[in-house]
Amino acid sequence: MKNLKLSLLGWLCLVSSSGYSQTKPAAKHIEKMIAGCIEKAMATSVYIIEWDTLAHKVQDGVDEANGFTGVVVSAEGHILTASHAAMPNQVYQISFPDGNKHIAVGVGRIGIQDKNTDYDMAMVKILKPGSWPFAEMAASTELQLNQPVVSISYPGAFFKRTPNVRFGRISDIDLTDGFIESSAKMEPGDSGGPLFDVLGRVVGVHSWIKEAEDQNYDVPADHFLKYWTALNQAKDYTVFPAADEVPAVAFPISMETVPSLEEVAGVSSLYKESAVVLNSTRGMQSLSIRGTLVDFGGTVYVVSKSSMVANHAVLKLNKHTVPVQVLKRDRANDLVLLKVTAKLRGGITLKSTTENPALQQKDIGTILVSVLSKDSTKVGVLSATYIDMPLNASKGYFGASAVDQEGKITLSGIGKGTEAASLFKVGDQVIKINGVEVRTAAEYNHEFEKYIASDSISADIIRDGRPMQLILTLEAQPTVRHVSFDYAGGRSARSDGFKNVLVQDAAVRTDECGGPVFDSAGNFYGINIARRSRTATIVTPVATLVKFIKDSI
């Protein structure tokens, strides 16, 4: 054990939370291009939802969060979107990023498959006359492989006033199938949203995805120009209408190409050593998650994602494992603070006065580096700044339905593959949840509203006349069967219910959360706390970490 302690003492060097100057001109150049696109184009991306003009509300049967995206492409209010989202003559409310809302109506729709080519186009028009902010459209002939592109749209995993930003590159310009392919990620809710070039021009409209996160398909802007006249008529076309003659581009622009973010952005090896691996167990389940070493007041701690750190936690260092002690958990932010039994030096230096970076819209698109280990990072861009995420998908899910049967709460169905299926049986009568008596279906449902995914609860039941108490860990709300949920690792069990967090588009797996996030200059932004969706990873900012540590020690 003596030799182990000696090896740990020299394992890390001091890492400052403020970073150090690193010259990365290629990374800064890409950030400047993204910022220029956002400045020109953000105002043109709109959220669209079916609207009841008489009741002045979202149409009955439509969830307010289940809208889609469009992009304004004329001063008169023409909005491009996808045919699988919009219908002719349907009334919509459209919301601009500045909060202004207006009524629009569906116009033309072309959702036709012609041989091996798909057409997924629709148009919506703002009814109120005005001079609306709009984006120009770019010719597909100007597209280049590895050309940078920016998505600014409203992914379904978020319900907020402003859109999220994602960055990518064009990966296929063969338009014979009717689509552009890029690595700018999308998910449901993004449908109909714009794909911009770095000049802020619409090059495509979001249509569909494949399982791989870098396979995203957009309708070329040229298709909308080709059928502009037809799309201005309120018709659902089942055969191709007459096409417009699209003039050749008089002065085509030669678009710049760029390397991948991984090729241009990185952080010091010292920073990489602040990321560690934590292993623990929950019953028969083995858990693994990243952690971040922080130096606070001269003592080195580990901070990580609480719901993924359970019993018998150990810190994995090189070929050794070291027990760690849980000092404090923060349920609201899903944080855990741990102390290592062996003495360590190093980590990210945090002070009680450390504050969050002051981020504004101009900072969206900043390149962020997520450190997974000393040998591994993932790179993305800042998608949204300091937002609140209400608890929704992370509400505790029991996995069993119940009915009120002769005054007893009786289990009537149990989901296959859930932990409840291994413990409960149909016909079990539930008497108490965590010691609280439940006598009606309303009380039963109300009690479960208190809990979030990864909470352990006790259930007092009667089975075949015998009283029993069972303990189980609640799961997250189940996802629907859709390709957008098939990304590697899936959604974190605790993926929302956070306040004042950042969003980035790096493809961080659920078991890779907990590690530190830096910008390309080495400034510490916080830790990845959850994989939220196909397009988004959530970052707990540094000031939240500092407050948690101060309150804990």
Residues 95, 157: one domain?
yes
90-94, 424-428, 444-448: least confident range: 444-448
Instruction: Summarize the confidence of residues 245-267 as an average pLDDT.
Output: 89
CA distance 10 to 12: 6
Is 320 strand, coil or helix? strand
Residues 347, 239: one domain?
no
Nearest to 338 by CA among 305, 374, 298: 305
pLDDT of residue 525: 97
More confident residue, 37 or 444: 37
Residues 93, 192: one domain?
yes
Mean pLDDT of the chain: 91
Residues 132, 251: one domain?
yes
What phi, psi does 399 have (nearest 5°)? 90, 10
Residues 84, 154: one domain?
yes
Quick one: pLDDT band at residue 125, thresholds 50, 70, 90?
very high
CA distance 265 to 381: 11
pLDDT tens column, 188-208 = 999 999 999 999 999 999 999
pLDDT tens column, 132-145 = 999 999 999 899 99
Quick one: pLDDT band at residue 65, thresholds 50, 70, 90?
confident
Q: Which helix (H) or strand (E) holds 29?
A: helix 25-41
CA distance 413 to 421: 9
Residues 124, 204: one domain?
yes
Instruction: Summarize the confidence of residues 66-95 as an average pLDDT.
Output: 97
- Indicate whether 331 belongs to any domain: yes
pLDDT tens column, 84-118 = 999 999 999 999 999 999 999 999 999 998 877 88
Residues 270, 171: one domain?
no
Residue where a domain terminates, one of 409, 440, 473? 473
- Indicate whether 480 belongs to any domain: no
pLDDT of residue 23: 52
Residues 465, 334: one domain?
no
pLDDT tens column, 211-235 = 999 999 999 999 999 999 999 999 9
Does the pTM surpass 0.85? The reply is yes
Matching residue, tokens 């030669």:
254
- Indicate whether 31 belongs to any domain: no
pLDDT tens column, 341-352 = 777 777 899 999
- Indicate whether 478 belongs to any domain: no
Residues 8, 72: one domain?
no
More confident residue, 271 or 364: 364
pLDDT of residue 16: 46
Domain count within the chain: 3
Residues 225, 297: one domain?
no
- Indicate whether 441 belongs to any domain: yes
Which residue range is the domain that position 229 belongs to?
A: 40-259
